[in-house]
């Protein structure tokens, strides 16, 4: 018989969390392929197991299509996670879903490098390309 994990059920509603809106603005060069890089050097969230803060560097590299991300709203979006208990993998996956929904980029890569927890650094990378 499999032993029940103490983590079970902690992240079941991660996709339903209501986050601040990520605003956009119209890209004046949708016919060009170029990359925008957003660095968030002081990202924080909460470990859902211990309740302690997790710190990370988040890097988003995207090629815009019709819209670009408005930075102030994106900053407010990232600050929102400060008080949310969420696993590293889930925050990057949720961030990708919200980012793609907001601006529908040609492509995007999100890399989260989380500071060591228990002596282990966690890096989570997710990529998306419009088909």
- What amino acid positions are annotated as catalytic residues? 47, 54
- How do 107-117 and 36-46 pair as beta strands? unpaired
Neighbours of 58 (CB within 10 A): 21
Element (H, E) at 53: strand 53-63
Closest CA to 38 of 117, 122, 96: 96
């Amino acid at each position: 018989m499999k032993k029940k994990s103490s983590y079970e059920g902690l992240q079941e509603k991660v996709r339903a969390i209501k986050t601040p809106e990520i605003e956009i603005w119209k890209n004046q060069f949708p016919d060009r392929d170029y990359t925008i890089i957003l660095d968030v050097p002081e990202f924080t969230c909460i470990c859902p197991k211990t309740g302690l803060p997790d710190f990370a560097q988040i890097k988003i590299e995207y090629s815009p299509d019709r819209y670009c991300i408005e930075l102030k709203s994106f900053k407010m979006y990232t600050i929102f996670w400060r008080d949310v208990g969420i696993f590293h993998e889930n925050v990057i996956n949720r961030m990708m879903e919200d980012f793609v929904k907001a601006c529908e980029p040609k492509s995007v890569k999100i890399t989260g490098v989380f500071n060591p927890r228990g002596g282990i650094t966690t890096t989570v990378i997710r990529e998306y390309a419009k088909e």
